[in-house]
């Protein structure tokens, strides 16, 4: 198949999933065209089956806001037409789903019919998308996509709850490349960061409010009173300064390391004992899946799709959003019981294997074919 993929080219979960999916489909022999405003961060190798089309937004003194949507629409029309794409897969509803619909209408005037699949990722539904300033467009674009997928049952439910959706939504879970994300022998790194055998607790995110990183820091503050440990905070974003200040106020800076954005995250995860994800809302929790693949159990909130990934009492523990005491209690219990920790590590890996890219990618392939067939049948 010739597949166009539209996504945010950043470290965000939707961009990572879109890029990894495209890479895996290309490896399988499909022809993949990434259409994004800069090269996707995970698109780090050359393949004869992958092309990258950059969306350049022309600047003009009249534009207070660069018209990204118009530039992307024009680029989609161009790429679909000249590369003869079979299907367009757009990730994150805003603005990609409505842009794809407009491109489809333009192409139809020339007798070209391009099926559109929209994948809903999370905040496009649970946070930003349902805001009045976007809701009518998101509802329309979902209802006019030829296929719609959501990354968890919880996100599917939230979509039906928050929008008037007439379309059937297919759940296709996030996935992981277990070749890359596996426990690596990096003990020298562990010794450097925890020279006295301290336990290592880790959190990775884009440091947005929705991640509730303050809960990680407060829970950690309770944990270090019982268990000598270090906290590794990976990533960067708007909350970073506030979290640094919180550590200073709590006086635990010497035990907290801000590692910033990291490429080889799997190497750091490999030496960690616990992963914390106390998010306010989390449609799936790709970062937790990456930790689990590296045999790190998860202490998380029970928001959104987290219970579909992190199995309470098996791969980690779930707590109500904001229940820092419960998170700290669960972490202390697990860190002070080596046998249980070992069992949870194994369980975490077993659970991660269910989301192996080689299991999930063929589901997308079959879904694309189903959507193409139904669009062709309706012409």
Q: Give the binding site for ligand GMT (CB under 6 A).
A: 12-14, 17, 92, 121-123, 126, 151, 174, 206, 210, 279, 281-286
User: Which residue, 92 or 368, has its beta carbon nearer to ligand GMT?
Assistant: 92
CB of 258 to ligand GMT, least distance (A): 18
CB of 79 to ligand GMT, least distance (A): 22
C-alpha separations of 131 from 128, 154, 213 in Å: 6, 19, 24
Residues 6+ apart with CB under 8 A from 52: 33, 34, 36, 39, 40, 43
User: Which residue, 9 or 115, has its beta carbon nearer to ligand GMT?
Assistant: 9
User: Which residue, 12 or 95, has its beta carbon nearer to ligand GMT?
Assistant: 12
CB of 285 to ligand GMT, least distance (A): 5
CB of 60 to ligand GMT, least distance (A): 29
Q: How far apart are CA 201 and CA 179, in angstroms?
A: 23
CB of 40 to ligand GMT, least distance (A): 12
> Considering only CA atoms, which of 263, 201, 261 is closest in space to residue 232?
201
User: Which residue, 175 or 194, has its beta carbon nearer to ligand GMT?
Assistant: 175
User: Which residue, 176 or 194, has its beta carbon nearer to ligand GMT?
Assistant: 176
> Considering only CA atoms, which of 373, 271, 279, 275 is closest in space to residue 331?
275
Q: Strands of 256-260's sheet, edge to edge?
A: 256-260, 229-234, 199-204, 274-277, 298-301, 316-319
CB of 18 to ligand GMT, least distance (A): 9
User: Which residue, 138 or 151, has its beta carbon nearer to ligand GMT?
Assistant: 151
CB of 174 to ligand GMT, least distance (A): 5
Q: What is the CA radius of gyration of the chain?
A: 22
CB burial of residue 98 (10 Å; 0-12, 13-18, 19+):
buried
Could you give the angle at which helices 357-377 and 13-27 cross, rounded to 10 degrees? Answer: 80
Q: How many CA atoms lie within 13 A of 128 on its CB side?
A: 13
Asked if the bond preceding 156 is cis, omega within 30° of 0, the reply is no
Q: How far apart are CA 376 and CA 370, in angstroms?
A: 10
User: Which residue, 223 or 355, has its beta carbon nearer to ligand GMT?
Assistant: 355
């Amino acid at each position: 198949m010739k597949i166009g993929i539209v996504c945010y080219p950043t470290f965000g979960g939707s961009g990572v999933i879109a890029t990894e999916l495209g890479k895996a489909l290309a490896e399988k022999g499909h022809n993949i065209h990434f259409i994004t405003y800069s090269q996707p961060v995970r698109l780090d190798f050359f393949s004869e089956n992958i092309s990258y089309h950059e969306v350049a937004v022309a600047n003009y003194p009249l534009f207070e806001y660069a018209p990204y949507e118009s530039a992307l629409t024009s680029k989609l029309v161009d790429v679909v037409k000249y590369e003869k794409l079979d299907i367009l897969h757009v990730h994150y509803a805003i603005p990609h789903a409505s842009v794809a619909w407009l491109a489809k209408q333009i192409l139809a005037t020339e007798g070209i019919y391009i099926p559109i699949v929209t994948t809903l990722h999370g905040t496009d539904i649970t946070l930003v998308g349902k805001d009045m300033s976007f809701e009518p467009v998101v509802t329309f674009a979902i209802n006019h996509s030829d296929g719609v997928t959501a990354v968890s049952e919880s996100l599917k439910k939230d979509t039906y709850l928050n929008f008037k959706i007439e379309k059937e939504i297919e759940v296709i879970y996030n996935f992981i490349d277990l070749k890359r994300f596996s426990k690596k022998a990096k003990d020298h790194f562990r010794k450097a960061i925890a020279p006295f055998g301290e336990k290592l607790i880790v959190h990775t995110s884009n440091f947005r409010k929705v991640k509730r990183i303050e809960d990680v820091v407060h829970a950690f503050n309770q944990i270090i009173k019982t268990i000598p440990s270090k906290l590794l905070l990976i990533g960067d974003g708007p909350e970073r300064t506030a979290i640094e200040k919180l550590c200073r106020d709590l006086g635990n800076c010497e035990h907290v390391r801000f590692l910033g954005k990291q490429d080889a995250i799997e190497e750091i995860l490999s030496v960690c004992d616990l992963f914390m994800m106390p998010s306010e809302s989390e449609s799936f929790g790709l970062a937790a899946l990456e930790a689990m693949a590296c045999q790190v159990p998860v202490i998380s909130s029970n928001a959104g799709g987290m219970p579909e990934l992190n199995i309470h009492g098996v791969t980690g523990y779930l707590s109500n959003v904001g229940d820092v005491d419960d998170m700290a209690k669960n972490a202390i219990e697990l860190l002070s019981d080596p046998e249980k920790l070992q069992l949870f590590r194994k369980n975490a890996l077993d659970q991660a294997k269910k989301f192996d890219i080689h299991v999930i990618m063929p589901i997308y392939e079959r879904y694309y074919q189903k959507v193409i067939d139904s669009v062709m049948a309706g012409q």
